[in-house]
Amino acid sequence: MGLPLLRNVEFNIAICTYCHIGIPFDWISGHLKDNHGLKCDDEEILEHLEIEHGTMQSKEVKDWFRGHRVLPEPVDGIPVLNGFGCSACPYSAKKTKAIYNHVSTDHRNDVERPKVVERKVQKLFESNLKQYVQIEKVDEQQEDVPDWKQKLDDQFNGMMRNLATSVPSEGLDMRLMNAFIAKIR
């Protein structure tokens, strides 16, 4: 059984294909176990990604964000969202409230007050590494999908793939049933 991972070669980011989110290398085995019930070790991950050395670590992500607040094109495998940004700097967010907070703290002494502008954004990581980056050029076919709907669709599709590859059991998988009920609503 393959792991639900792919690698963005340009930035050396591992991406969970079920959750559509980047995962630092040191978090992959925990993420797969906690969120998808898959047990694996670092060697299996390296083998699946066909690499000799791990992808970006959690410590490296914070430094990486300093130089990558704006990306020329979206990272494949992660949804592009409609978001907002600061007109004076590359700071981006999903909601306008975050931009207003940013402007009031980071630009409070500016002579001319920055404005909130609409942008295409991506949330590359979750947890304490959650930051939105601005995407300059977006393919017109990519649609804006709300995070909750995207996660629900991904969970359902992942469970259906797992069900198709697993051995039939005598009992019902309640998580699968809940996902199915939520999907048909």
- What is the reported pLDDT for 79? 92
Domain ranges of the chain: 1-67, 69-135, 145-185
Instruction: Determine the angle formed by the axes of helices 42-49 and 28-36, rounding to 10 degrees.
Output: 90
**Residue 134, Cβ neighbours under 10 Å: how many?**
20
Low-confidence ranges of the chain (pLDDT < 70): 1, 139-150, 163-172
- What is the reported pLDDT for 70? 93
DSSP-based three-state secondary structure for 150: helix
- What is the reported pLDDT for 154? 74
- pTM (whole model) above 0.95: no
Q: Dump pLDDT digits (tens) for 103-134.
A: 999 998 888 889 999 999 999 998 888 999 99
CA 35, 37, 39, 44 torsion: positive or negative? negative
β 13-16/70-71 pair status: unpaired
